[in-house]
Structure 1
Amino acid sequence: MSKPKKGVLLVNLGTPDSPSVPDVKRYLTEFLLDGRVIDIPAWRRSLLVRGVIVPFRAPKSAKLYRAIWDDNTGSPLLHYSVRQQQLLQERLSGEYHVELAMRYQNPSISRALARLKSMNLDSIRVIPLFPQYASASTGSVIDKVMELMRTWHTFPGVSFVNDFYENDLMIEVFAENALKHHPETYDHILFSYHGLPVRQLNDVEVSGTHDCEKAGCRQQIAEHNRYCYLAQCHATTRLLAKRLGLKETDYTVCFQSRLGKTPWVQPYTSDVLKDVAAKGKKRLLVFCPAFVSDCLETVYEVGTEYALEFKELGGEKVQLVESLNDHPKWITALEQLVYRDLPEWLQKDKLTV
């Protein structure tokens, strides 16, 4: 077998090493101390995270993780991330070596990069596994990779995938997963994305004064709002709605998992649940297109917490649309991302569908 000359680094958000309170504390502490996640002065962030948030949230989060944890495979996010790495490695030729890392906790980015460095590669392709760009997710991964590589004396060619919110195969997999549940039998559809503080969108434009409502981010994506998380979420939704033949009145875009009292992107999923229940909707189909692997935010937050909340409001059913997970077409989409932006003559005959 020929020696690999190119590296691929897949990076997802992260997961505790176990559902124990100490491991959840370590995970939450590393995650929330990231200045791109909670973007306030470091001393305030440390006091808030170490003194208030983590001691309060860790025991509760540990209980939730235990509810979705598998004794053999661990968290769903880790299980499916490992599967994606393994299946992508099988798809790529022997000149590629694929590593998996988590932005927070294990497997760590530092260890993955150390392995890639030892292979004396010609290039490394970094793919943060977040369809829509945000400074707190994709931006944080890029920042961490660059920080860790800063000490290297020699560099291979390094490239990053910023987003893939419009990837056709990704859209196709979400649509196929939805069709298994017969969307026509539901009263309304939610596209629930991970939330983000509004202030983190200000720097989308060079002026630092980006305003989603003035920029029309819910209606269009163009050069001026190309890196706006809200605009990319709505763009993904429009593509999915078109694929499924949905009208605008059939669905609502909303945002979950907010933290603290600062304004986050709206509408909040919990508020939308109240609204649709008040309108007499009984059955909801819910997509979570910000996640490529099922995880705590999909399996538990939507599949359990929101389902219970909706029933208490008078609803009957909340059905989660499964994420991309290890679907063969999603692995092909990852293969596309490895080759994307290469000169056309280098892309030819690369993909296996």
Structure 2
Amino acid sequence: MQNHTTMSPREFLKKYHFDHRMVDGSFYPRTPLGVGPGDRVGVVLFNLGGPTGLDGVEPFLYNLFMDPAIIDIPLPAMLRDPLCRLIARKRAEGVREEYALIGGASPLNEHTRQQAVLLERRLADELAAATGATFHTYMAMRYAPPLSEDSVQQMHEDGITHVVLLPLCPQYSKTTTGASVVYWHALQQEGCMPDWPTSLIFEYATHPDLVCAFSGRISEGLSRFAEKERGNVHILFSAHGTPLYEKTRRHDPYQDLVFSTVRAIMDAWDGPNPHSTAFQSKVGPAKWLSPSTPDHLGTLADSGITRVLIVPVAFVSDHVETLFELDMEVRKEALEAGIVKYEVCEGLNDSPHFMDCLVDMVRRHVQSADGSAPRSPQ
């Protein structure tokens, strides 16, 4: 392992080329790791990250715009770097205003930290005795600290022997989990980390505990409506959009996985509520997954629907795209379109059912040295 463990956005861009493994996650196997006494398992929580203060907004945007895994434009590093710096600087003022309205920083970092703490505690209680191994959790954000490099350094110091990669995106996409995985793999290829035995949790879009977690948030959201109205509230599942070509040309499974999550939730839901799915956060002129959340709200209003509950179905933590975009910006558009009562579900955050889901996914990716899988506590 090299002492120098940092890769700048320019360095990564120079090494990057599209690899179909970004679409199917096959950089790493999904098979369980055999672990036993003395082994130290590092569970890496992948997420995109967010600025920890208003001064961090511009660097966050620069890192985001520089990532070819999500913005794949045919520009060499020497041209893309100054362009992205310019765009980040111009966009930062408006984006800082958005973060100022939700507390001056992204809450995603604190939510992820809490998830990591709770998960490590649960793994110690439920898997350590069954396997003889110890379990340690690490946050690996893609565009703001703590970065993957920070996690790698700490894992090396902690003597980690095996790694489980756990994306905090239930539905796999090249532009989210794929972006984190390809960068992690690039660090490994550069010798910035040991060659740890690794297992990737690809997706958990229909996991029963994830479904329960979303159902709980929907029940909480509906409680904000008058009791006589609740059965008629339209449940609108809103997922982050992606460029349409990611699905049509590269066969990104994301949209299908989002739909599978929605089906699983509504199959388990015992209420009469109508529902639909839309996609938010479109930027740029390219075609994205449709319908867009604001446009679809207008269509719902035109059809006479006046009460809507928004479920952020592809996010597991509240952040600027739920607290500002959905709860402030889109709310204003919805009310102007004719929606009378508009509510947004809280993110899963530290939901006990969501933590059950994460524990079970890690459990599925480790096994005792004798080949037996750890059992769930009864």
For residues 304 and 193 of structure 2, what CA distance do their matches in structure 1 show?
A: 63
Instruction: Tell me whether 1:90 sits opposite 2:121 in the alignment.
Output: yes
Instruction: Tell me whether 1:230 sits opposite 2:265 in the alignment.
Output: no
Instruction: Tell me whether 1:197 sits opposite 2:222 in the alignment.
Output: no
For residues 193 and 135 of structure 2, what CA distance do their matches in structure 1 show?
A: 22
Instruction: Tell me whether 1:174 sits opposite 2:214 in the alignment.
Output: yes
Q: How does 1:282-293 map to 2 (within 5 A)?
A: 282-293=306-317
Q: How does 1:72-151 map to 2 (within 5 A)?
A: 74-93=105-124, 95-150=134-189, 151=191
Which residue, 83, 88, 92 being the options, matches 1:54?
A: 88
Q: Give the structure-2-normalised TM-score.
A: 0.80
> Shift in Å at residue 268 of structure 1?
0.7
Instruction: Tell me whether 1:278 sits opposite 2:302 in the alignment.
Output: yes
Aligned to 2:330: 306
Which residue, 42, 45, 53 being the options, matches 1:7?
A: 42
For residues 250 and 75 of structure 2, what CA distance do their matches in structure 1 show?
A: 22
Given that residues 164 and 365 in structure 2 are in contact (C-alpha distance below 8 angstroms), is that contact kept between their aligned partners in structure 1?
A: no
Given that residues 165 and 200 in structure 2 are in contact (C-alpha distance below 8 angstroms), is that contact kept between their aligned partners in structure 1?
A: yes
For residues 150 and 329 of structure 2, what CA distance do their matches in structure 1 show?
A: 35
> Shift in Å at residue 56 of structure 1?
3.0
Aligned to 1:220: none
For residues 233 and 329 of structure 1, what CA distance do their matches in structure 2 show?
A: 19
Q: How does 1:196-275 map to 2 (within 5 A)?
A: 196-205=242-251, 228-245=253-270, 250-275=274-299
For residues 322 and 34 of structure 1, what CA distance do their matches in structure 2 show?
A: 29
Given that residues 4 and 97 in structure 1 are in contact (C-alpha distance below 8 angstroms), is that contact kept between their aligned partners in structure 2?
A: no
CA deviation profile, 1:319-343 (whole Å, cap 9, x unmatched): 1111210112211211112122445
Given that residues 18 and 24 in structure 1 are in contact (C-alpha distance below 8 angstroms), is that contact kept between their aligned partners in structure 2?
A: yes
Aligned to 2:73: 40
For residues 100 and 377 of structure 2, what CA distance do their matches in structure 1 show?
A: 38
**Which residue identity lines up with residue 65 of structure 1 in the other structure?**
Y
**Which residue identity lines up with residue 7 of structure 1 in the other structure?**
G
For residues 154 and 100 of structure 1, what CA distance do their matches in structure 2 show?
A: 18
Which residue, 304, 318, 322 being the options, matches 2:346?
A: 322
Given that residues 170 and 329 in structure 1 are in contact (C-alpha distance below 8 angstroms), is that contact kept between their aligned partners in structure 2?
A: yes
> Shift in Å at residue 246 of structure 1?
5.8
> Shift in Å at residue 281 of structure 1?
1.5
CA deviation profile, 1:83-106 (whole Å, cap 9, x unmatched): 001111111126111111211111
Aligned to 2:102: 68
Secondary structure (helix, strand or coil) at the match of 2:203 reads coil
Q: Which runs of 5+ in 1 are unaligned?
A: 206-226
CA RMSD of aligned residues (A): 2.2
Given that residues 201 and 365 in structure 2 are in contact (C-alpha distance below 8 angstroms), is that contact kept between their aligned partners in structure 1?
A: no
Given that residues 173 and 254 in structure 2 are in contact (C-alpha distance below 8 angstroms), is that contact kept between their aligned partners in structure 1?
A: yes
Which residue, 162, 184, 199 being the options, matches 2:202?
A: 162
The higher-RCO structure (CA 8 Å, 6+ apart) is 2
For residues 233 and 336 of structure 1, what CA distance do their matches in structure 2 show?
A: 20
Given that residues 310 and 317 in structure 1 are in contact (C-alpha distance below 8 angstroms), is that contact kept between their aligned partners in structure 2?
A: no
CA deviation profile, 1:233-272 (whole Å, cap 9, x unmatched): 111110111111467x811110000110000011111110
CA deviation profile, 1:146-197 (whole Å, cap 9, x unmatched): 1112205742211211111111111101101111233735531111100000
Q: Which runs of 5+ in 2 are unaligned?
A: 1-36, 129-133, 224-229
Aligned to 1:29: 62
Is 116-125 or 303-312 further displaced after alignment?
116-125
Classify 1:176/1:141 alpha carbon distance in 2 versus 1 (closer, same or farther; 3 Å): same
**Which residue identity lines up with residue 69 of structure 1 in the other structure?**
G
Given that residues 103 and 109 in structure 1 are in contact (C-alpha distance below 8 angstroms), is that contact kept between their aligned partners in structure 2?
A: yes
Classify 1:122/1:267 alpha carbon distance in 2 versus 1 (closer, same or farther; 3 Å): same
Classify 1:75/1:328 alpha carbon distance in 2 versus 1 (closer, same or farther; 3 Å): same
Classify 1:186/1:48 alpha carbon distance in 2 versus 1 (closer, same or farther; 3 Å): farther
Is 279-288 or 37-46 further displaced after alignment?
37-46
Aligned to 1:337: 361
Secondary structure (helix, strand or coil) at the match of 1:346 reads coil
**Which residue identity lines up with residue 237 of structure 1 in the other structure?**
V
Aligned to 1:211: none
Is 140-149 or 37-46 further displaced after alignment?
37-46
Given that residues 84 and 326 in structure 1 are in contact (C-alpha distance below 8 angstroms), is that contact kept between their aligned partners in structure 2?
A: yes
Given that residues 174 and 321 in structure 1 are in contact (C-alpha distance below 8 angstroms), is that contact kept between their aligned partners in structure 2?
A: no
Q: Give the structure-1-normalised TM-score.
A: 0.85
For residues 310 and 34 of structure 1, what CA distance do their matches in structure 2 show?
A: 33
Classify 1:333/1:15 alpha carbon distance in 2 versus 1 (closer, same or farther; 3 Å): same
Provide the aligned length of Structure 1 versus Structure 2: 323
Q: Percent identity?
A: 28
Given that residues 282 and 315 in structure 1 are in contact (C-alpha distance below 8 angstroms), is that contact kept between their aligned partners in structure 2?
A: yes
Is 145-154 or 88-97 further displaced after alignment?
145-154
